Chains A and B, each alone.
Chain A
């Protein structure tokens, strides 16, 4: 049942990605509207998929890579939909939807069977810890996309190469603003995820912090974003510097999420 939904969501995200890319090269209100609706439909099905999976499994379906990548994609699309209304920057979708689609495709490559829950994960913290972590990841993913767009647009303006893409991209100020907004959403969420993780670790493993690779890398990620936030608030790091840090931060974050699970053995290596 839920696997059909997974495929449907993939197809809808694929269509939305094509439409948003089309919107990038051929700006028209119709294309813009259709892409919004297709993506919204995909998001709706994705929510249903996650909900059905929750009913089938009986626990928050973020316990292996298939589930968590799918949930990551869901939160990326959700945060983007919220931003799209706020900033009227539909072009952001041309960068975000491919990312959400890729994450979803990777999710499809991992086994999707529902297995009995690992005893260590049987806790009410599972939902709180993972949902806040992925909501934070999604905000940082949007910041990453805005950062890439910022660097492109800045390059065009500095080098005076004012082509078609320059025309389509939003202004630097809007991109920088999106970057900042994502940071102010993502950073508290990441902080909460780390704190809830520590509390949960104490109840499950008997210690708040055991320098497990996931914990270490989460802390590194947290420091990168803390540095960015600090720089922004005090010395006015903005523009290209903030964009680069948002991109670096997201790469570190991806390693924390995927690299640690796949490469480094530890307590968090759920596949």
Chain B
């Protein structure tokens, strides 16, 4: 049994191609059924997100399986095969396993460490299991991928830090204020970035949002979106003291808030801390404000610096994650090849047994004067011969942890003795084995 992966992602294809090949999650049953109905394909899972479309499948014939799925992806979407094929990659064996482990652990994502992909694969696997497109091998394989992703998440800090300016601002606010649920945000100006950051604060549960914009109507519309209140821009300083977090993104070409104003506001606030986020260019807030007690001022560059730092950390953590993935691949490969060991041993035994029986029958037919006693002796002699001959090879095959050698031996045995082992339990309703999670 071989695991193959065929698909495309943001690494291999532009958005124009990806969107044409995407599958609708609400209508995934038909393609799944078509996929597993293909000759050479025993099991299949279809993963379709905005950054990737991938098919994970189990096949006996790697080359034919990959070709079939490539053809299937083009045909299903009524696209010319030649237009699609150059964007598709196909992996098998160790590469396929590594690829899926990396995808699940979000090491292959556009923003490394973003957690959504794992949920998307779990959903895709859920559909495949529901429509019985996945079986013994893919069940085990994907559960392994999920546990690898979980290990990566808990043992590395790959997703523990914000990688956008808006999220970085929210994280900083949490380090200053702890709980945001009793804090108020004042949004000054209605620039796009400010609006986005305010949205992040709202979804982090701030109590209140004020919007001060030069055109009151636009401010009111924005405030309505956040469930907040609009204030007149000219009354800004009458409201500043109510805000714990001030987000400024006006188009003003000079500082609108200086240390003098903030010092005054702080007195009214009894020195309760304030967090100023200046995402305007040119800057709205005098940098000297940062020198005031209990005031923290971050501008665009500072936040960008935080993001860079976090991205750098993610890259470092990704290195650790790659090591975890590499360590898990060997284990899974060993299980995969062990799947074929038992059927091959059974086939080998029955081949030897057939020969023994045939030769024994011939001999008994030729020597007509054999007593039942002597026939019995011949029977046990030949039995012993077969058992002795098979003893060592059987043990060697069953030894765990030989990696690629097991595959080599299995191939050799199959060709040397012309075996065609019946695959073990290929029915689809075998419960997934979670033993290693």
| A170 interface residue per 8 A CB criterion | yes
| A160 interface residue per 8 A CB criterion | yes
Report chain A residues within 8 Å CB of B290.
158
9-residue interface stretch from B145-153, B190-198, B265-273: B265-273
- Between A and B, 11 residue pairs with Cβ closer than 8 Å are A157-B176, A166-B175, A171-B174, A172-B176, A173-B177, A173-B178, A174-B178, A236-B270, A238-B271, A238-B272, A239-B273
Question: Which residue of chain A has the shortest Cβ distance to B270 in the bound complex?
Answer: A236
Q: Could you give, for residues 152-183 of chain B, a 1 whenever the CB lies within 8 Å of some chain A CB and a 0 otherwise?
A: 00000000110000000000101111110000
Binding site for B on A (CB under 8 A): 153, 157-158, 160, 162, 166-167, 169-174, 235-241
- A238/B176 in contact, CB under 8 A: no
Out of A160, A166, A170, A240, name the residue touching B294 (CB < 8 Å). A240
| B296 interface residue per 8 A CB criterion | yes
CB distance from B286 to the nearest CB of A (A): 16
- A160/B271 in contact, CB under 8 A: no
Give residues of chain B (287-305) contacting chain A, Cβ–Cβ below 8 Å. Answer: 290, 293-294, 296, 298, 302, 305
CB distance from A167 to the nearest CB of B (A): 8
Report chain B residues within 8 Å CB of A167.
160-161
CA separation between A199 and B160, bound complex, in Å?
A: 57
- A241/B270 in contact, CB under 8 A: no
| B188 interface residue per 8 A CB criterion | no
CA separation between A237 and B272, bound complex, in Å?
A: 9
| B306 interface residue per 8 A CB criterion | yes
- B271/A239 in contact, CB under 8 A: yes
Give residues of chain B (301-352) contacting chain A, Cβ–Cβ below 8 Å. Answer: 302, 305-306, 309
- A157/B293 in contact, CB under 8 A: no
Question: Which residue of chain A has the shortest Cβ distance to B175 in the bound complex?
Answer: A171
CA separation between A40 and B296, bound complex, in Å?
A: 38
CA separation between A187 and B177, bound complex, in Å?
A: 26
Binding site for A on B (CB under 8 A): 160-161, 172, 174-179, 269-273, 290, 293-294, 296, 298, 302, 305-306, 309
CA separation between A166 and B175, bound complex, in Å?
A: 9
Question: Which residue of chain B has the shortest Cβ distance to A176 in the bound complex?
Answer: B273
A239 and B293 contact, Cβ closer than 8 Å, known pairs A160-B302, A160-B305, A162-B306? yes
Report chain B residues within 8 Å CB of A153.
175
Out of B176, B293, B296, name the residue touching A241 (CB < 8 Å). B293
CA separation between A153 and B290, bound complex, in Å?
A: 15
CA separation between A160 and B169, bound complex, in Å?
A: 12
A236 and B176 contact, Cβ closer than 8 Å, known pairs A160-B302, A162-B306? no
CB distance from B316 to the nearest CB of A (A): 11
CB distance from A265 to the nearest CB of B (A): 42
CB distance from A147 to the nearest CB of B (A): 15
Question: Which residue of chain A has the shortest Cβ distance to B176 in the bound complex?
Answer: A172
Report chain B residues within 8 Å CB of A162.
306, 309
- A240/B293 in contact, CB under 8 A: yes
CB distance from A113 to the nearest CB of B (A): 49
- A157/B296 in contact, CB under 8 A: yes
Report chain B residues within 8 Å CB of A238.
270-273, 294
Report chain B residues within 8 Å CB of A237.
271
A236 and B175 contact, Cβ closer than 8 Å, known pairs A160-B305, A162-B309, A241-B293? no
